[in-house]
Amino acid sequence: MDVKELGSAWLLRKDWSFETEPTVHDKEQYGKALLTCAAGGGEISQEQREWVKGYFAAFGSPQELIETLDAYDGQESLESILSQSEAATACSRVLIYDAIRACSTDGKLEPGELARIRKANRLLGHDDQVVDDWVEYYQEEVRMQERRTKLMWPDISKRPY
């Protein structure tokens, strides 16, 4: 196992309790679903696209997939995307959480983005409470990350990197 594979396997185990890695095809459909939700705000912001690309790069995705996600316009229907990936259905609650994170990375979760997340959620067989719970969780997580940063760096200007 090379370093890239080791890092990807560690992250998948740590964050999602995965024992194996999704296929490149499943990663592509999952990434397209995230970007399609982000496009619900009118366009995919640079921050949103960079988050999705970085997310999949962290999971050891090949360069070709990152390039595909970089060029993807988010205009494909969620029905089409989700029907092409059994993994998206199997990981449906994770997908909803990741969509909230990807859409929020530019500092706001737009109504159109939230509407697309809710649509994906319904297509995946969940009621709206799942989205509401994940939004609340994400907001708590952001507050905890801010707190952690303040604990590590009371004066952020003094961090070494």
105-129 pLDDT tens trace: 999 999 999 999 999 999 999 999 9
Q: What is the pTM for the complete model shown?
A: 0.93
For the chain, domains (ranges, CATH) are: 3-158 (1.10.3680.10)
Angle at 7 between CA 138 and CA 117, to 5 degrees: 30
22-59 pLDDT tens trace: 999 999 999 999 999 999 999 999 999 999 999 999 99
CA dist 51 and 111 (Å) reads: 19
b/e map 70-88, b = 16+ CB within 10 Å: eebebebebeebbebbebb
CA dist 114 and 106 (Å) reads: 14
Is residue 68's pLDDT more than 90?
yes
Q: To the nearest whole number, what is the mean pLDDT of the chain?
A: 95
Is residue 4's pLDDT more than 90?
no
